[in-house]
Amino acid sequence: MSGEIQGAWFKAILGSMTAASSRFPQHQQRINSMRDDTWYAWEDYVHMTGELQAALGDRAVEAIAQRSAMRTLPLARALGFDSVEKVFGNFDALLRGMVRNLPHADSTRTVSFMPLAAELETQSRLPTPLLLGTFRGLLMGFGKIVTEAKVSTRGGTRRFSLRWM
């Protein structure tokens, strides 16, 4: 079975992205019809994020993802992820709370976590700016200021190194 993402998460991220561009009215219409408590195809989410990232560019997508992640923090808290330690100590657990039957290749695992830093790895098909903005937004939602964010790639794996204060 392919993965499914809950409507509340789908709408929060992609709704903001489609609102930023008038080039995707069909996506905006579909997102506007979604229900928060219904599950939608992960493949559709991945496909739409790629299209929107190509149209909007890296900086816009990162900024939109950052704002969206801050706004969705109550959803994460409702799943029990109510601290930086719980979110970044096992990021994949949060991701699996948002996406049921998440394809293994799209997981994002915590490599290391310390009180002021984390390293995460993924082979996800989601755009790097979307992931980076999401990480920044979650940290900002907990009142943390990101002081360093590095992305390195080795093979098909991206490593995100984050520091905050």
**To which CATH superfamily is domain 4-164 assigned?**
H-NOX domain (3.90.1520.10)
Segments making up each domain of the chain, as ranges: 4-164
> What is the three-class DSSP state of 12?
helix
Which has more confidence, 151 or 2? 151
Which has more confidence, 130 or 17? 130
Tokens 């496909």 found at? 47
Other C-beta atoms closer than 10 Å to the C-beta of 50 total 14
pLDDT(52) > 70 = yes
**So what's the pLDDT on residue 116?**
98
Tokens 């394809």 found at? 103
Rounded-to-integer distance, Cα 59 and Cα 67, Å: 13
> What is the three-class DSSP state of 163?
strand
When the pLDDT of each residue in the chain is averaged and rounded to a whole number, the result is: 94
Lookup: tokens for 109: 């695992």
pLDDT(62) > 80 = yes
pLDDT(104) > 80 = yes
Confidence of residue 1 (pLDDT cuts 50, 70, 90): low
Q: Global pTM?
A: 0.93
List beta partners, residue 150. Answer: 161
Nearest to 113 by CA among 162, 66, 157, 165: 162
pLDDT(128) > 90 = yes
